[in-house]
Structure 1
Amino acid sequence: MEVTGKIKKIDETKTFGASGFRKREMVVTTNEQYPQMLMIEFVQDKCDLLNSYQVGQDVKVSINLRGREWINPQGEAVYFNSIQGWRIEAAAAEGAGAPTAPPVDSFEKTADVSDSEPDDLPF
């Protein structure tokens, strides 16, 4: 899956536990009719992918949706979701590189269809 939008926030890399687990979070504001502010986390070696990006930059982020279950002390199952990024790239400017249709007057005129031909359409 992919998310495109503008970087609103990039946090510093945080390290957790004796194992040295690394996590870095960013917030991307989507370019939709109703923009969403999505927190996307990058973990371990993917944290470094954010080093060359800055707030305000338009990006395309490849993501995975992650979900997990936790059993609380009362024995009830609680569920958590996260959005995990694994690739990021600068988004192309809107319209850049998009194919454009040639102007109408550049089309060649073809032979006119004669009105004398029978209409063989069934409707």
Structure 2
Amino acid sequence: MFKLTGTVKLISETQQISEKFSKREFVISETSSMYPQDILFQATQDKCSLLDSVKVQDQIEVSFNLRGREWTSPTGEVKYFNSLEAWRIEKAGQGSAIPSDGPSPMSLGSEPTASMSASNNANSESTEESDDLPF
């Protein structure tokens, strides 16, 4: 698994290659090195929809796999091809979205709930005696 962060330069339409295969290509401009690179990625099958909420000039982080394959031409010449298969796209600087039906995380500095305080006080005497960790 690889990750790359950059600016979206181009998003193509979904291409229906065959009855059972579709792909959508996009280009990311990676500017963190001395020489900026424009890198072509592809999303295939159900992953094509990952690009529906992405616009040109968006800063994104792409998680992808490197794929390589051999191809023999009709004249017998062997060629090798690589592709970067995107499987996750996130806005740069954002983590995975938390599902709305899940519990909300406790913010830093917030007070614990009464049930948490009561259970911590009840267990504090027994854990202090058996707790030999330095922190």
Q: Distance in 2 between matches of 1:18 and 1:86?
A: 21
Q: Which stretches in structure 1 are left out of the alignment for 5+ residues?
A: 94-123
Q: Which stretches in structure 2 are left out of the alignment for 5+ residues?
A: 95-135
Q: Distance in 1 between matches of 2:93 and 2:54?
A: 14
Q: 3-state DSSP class of the match of 1:52?
A: coil
Indicate whether 1:12 and 2:13 are aligned.
Answer: yes
Indicate whether 1:25 and 2:25 are aligned.
Answer: yes
Percent identity among equivalent residues? 47
Q: Distance in 1 between matches of 2:86 and 2:74?
A: 31
Q: Give the CA deviation at 1:76.
A: 2.4
Indicate whether 1:46 and 2:47 are aligned.
Answer: yes
Which aligned segments of 4 or more residues in structure 1 are displaced greater than 4 angstroms? none
| Higher-Rg member (1/2) | 1
How many aligned residue pairs are there?
A: 92
TM-score, length of structure 2 as denominator length: 0.65
Q: Give the CA deviation at 1:77.
A: 1.5
Q: Give the CA deviation at 1:71.
A: 1.1
Q: Give the CA deviation at 1:31.
A: 2.1
Aligned-residue CA RMSD (Å): 1.3
Q: 1:1-123 maps to which residues of 2 (within 5 A)?
A: 1-19=2-20, 21-32=21-32, 33-92=34-93
Q: Which has the higher helix share?
A: 2
Q: Give CA deviations for 1:69-102 in whole Å, capped at 9, x if unaligned.
A: 0111222211111111010000018xxxxxxxxx
